[in-house]
Chains A and B, each alone.
Chain A
Amino acid sequence: MTVNEIKEILDAEIICGKDCADKEVHTACGADMMSDVLAFVKNQSVLLTGLCNPQVIRTSEMMDIICIVFVRGKKPDQGMIALAEERGIVLMTTSHRMFSACGMLYENGLRGGTKC
């Protein structure tokens, strides 16, 4: 699944990283606790989260996460956007709630990756 397909499925708005819309995403992770995200290494992941602070970008950077989707219409501030742009991470926001957003991606074939 590409970043652009995620955007379409979730009816999301890309906040930054539009030029990476063709990037392939292999797995997804939905979490508000960043240590849970850090516990499972996956390649080329998208992170769905309701948390909206700079550590979401930092965590994604450490994990080589390609794209972050903020659920329930949350929008990152300028500092977070600048950090994401610097690291080449796509940020998008969707009005869907966490459970629905995860379900929509799953329904379209995206999976959570292998068990740890």
Chain B
Amino acid sequence: MLNDELHLSYQILGDDFTRAGEASSDVKHKLKMMGISPETVRRVAIAMYEGEINMVIHADGGTIDVIISPSEVKLILKDKGPGIADIELAMQEGYSTAPDNIRSLGFGAGMGLSNMKKYTDEMDIETELGVGTTVTMTIKI
């Protein structure tokens, strides 16, 4: 187990669907190596992966910062995308603004944000139309 904080930073490319998930995979691998419980590692991986996919689909990429401390994992996903017009609506299971071609790739079911909330202990969304969105998620270890 680590005693200090560990910071990881990832640049997510927009519209590169083949590579989407590489950052989440890397974080999952690192957390596993640190000896964090498989259940916690999976929660972090799923939440980050959904966020990463969202960035690729909706926001032309962005950055993900991961801060790992002995007590929690914090994920900060920042993009310069279109912003979320109605967060409450976006949080509803089944609501999606993803185009049809995304659905044919297996995403866009309107489960992303609700899954992120479900697997994390805290989730905060700051968004401004035309400026971008920052999603901060915390998972307790």
CB contact between A38 and one of B18, B50, B108 (< 8 Å): that residue: B50
Interface size class, chain A: 20 to 34
Interface check B127, CB cutoff 8 A: no
Distance of A53 Cα from B24 Cα, bound (Å): 17
**A14-48 with Cβ < 8 A to chain B:** 32-36, 38-39, 41
Contact with B along A47-76 (1 / 0, CB 8 A): 000010111101101111000000000000
A62-B105 in contact (CB<8A): no
Would you mind naming 10 contact pairs between A and B with Cβ atoms under 8 Å apart? A33-B111, A35-B106, A38-B49, A38-B115, A39-B118, A41-B46, A54-B17, A55-B20, A59-B106, A62-B28
**B21-68 with Cβ < 8 A to chain A:** 21, 24-25, 28, 38, 42, 45-46, 49-50, 53
**Distance (whole angstroms) from the CB of A65 to the closest CB of chain B:** 11
**Distance (whole angstroms) from the CB of A20 to the closest CB of chain B:** 17
Distance of A51 Cα from B109 Cα, bound (Å): 14
A39-B111 in contact (CB<8A): yes
Residues of chain B within 8 A (CB-CB) of A41 are 42, 46, 119
Interface check B81, CB cutoff 8 A: no
Distance of A32 Cα from B103 Cα, bound (Å): 9
